[in-house]
């Protein structure tokens, strides 16, 4: 059971980390920025967030008793019609993450091998969580990359700054060894 406890604690930190990457990205953007797209076949930040939120609400609402692909979800429309403003986008973003964290927080250590269904395919809770973590990491990476393109030289890095790896590593290796989650420093 200790492993299950550690897994749940770690996965919550990972989800919070990806949410924070999004939050820190949005701080750097204007209302106009969230609607920019590279070309007509690419998605704006607003559209990517709309898809993430649609997925979160579908996957995590009543996930223990209902399929994760809800009948009320229309995935295709997540890629149409953007949020009117950055404020509206962030409000939806918070709603999606709240749904996810409420669901994750409801999972008990001894339930991790129980099944949840996504499009009628059974996943242990661990598999469903890992599937969604990977999906959100993929899209949050897109958000960060698009924002970095928009802001260009005005982008404030969310990671180790370019050409600063050596100094970052020197700092890390000058500290005593410890056991902690890497997000505890961010």
42/137 Cα distance (integer angstroms): 18
Residue 167: both structure tokens together: 């100094």
pLDDT at position 129: 98
Query: What is the full DSSP assignment across 38-54?
Result: SSTTSPPHHHHHHHHHH
Point out the residues of the chain with pLDDT beneath 70: 185-186
The angle that helices 2-27 and 125-151 make with each other, rounded to 10 degrees, is: 20
Q: What is the pLDDT of residues 119-135, one digit of tens each?
A: 999 999 999 999 999 99
Q: How far is CA 48 from the centre of its chain?
A: 11
pLDDT at position 185: 66
pLDDT at position 164: 80
Q: Can you give the pTM of this predicted structure?
A: 0.93
pLDDT at position 160: 84
Domains and CATH numbers, the chain: 2-185 (1.20.120.450)
């Amino acid at each position: 059971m200790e492993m299950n406890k550690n897994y749940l604690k770690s996965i919550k930190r990972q989800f919070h980390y990806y949410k924070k990457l999004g939050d820190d990205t949005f701080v750097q953007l204007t209302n106009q920025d969230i609607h920019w797209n590279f070309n007509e076949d690419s998605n704006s930040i607003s559209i990517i967030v709309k898809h993430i939120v649609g997925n979160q609400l579908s996957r995590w609402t009543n996930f223990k008793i209902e399929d994760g692909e809800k009948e009320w979800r229309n995935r295709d429309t997540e890629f149409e019609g953007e949020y009117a403003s950055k404020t509206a986008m962030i409000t939806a973003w918070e709603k999606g993450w709240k749904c996810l964290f409420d669901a994750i927080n409801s999972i008990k250590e001894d339930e991790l091998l129980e099944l949840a269904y996504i499009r009628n395919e059974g996943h242990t809770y661990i598999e469903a969580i890992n599937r969604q973590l990977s999906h959100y990491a993929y899209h949050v990476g897109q958000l960060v990359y698009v924002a970095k393109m928009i802001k260009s030289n005005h982008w404030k890095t969310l990671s180790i700054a370019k050409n600063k790896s050596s100094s970052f590593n020197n700092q890390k290796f000058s500290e005593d060894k410890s056991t902690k989650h890497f997000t505890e420093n961010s």
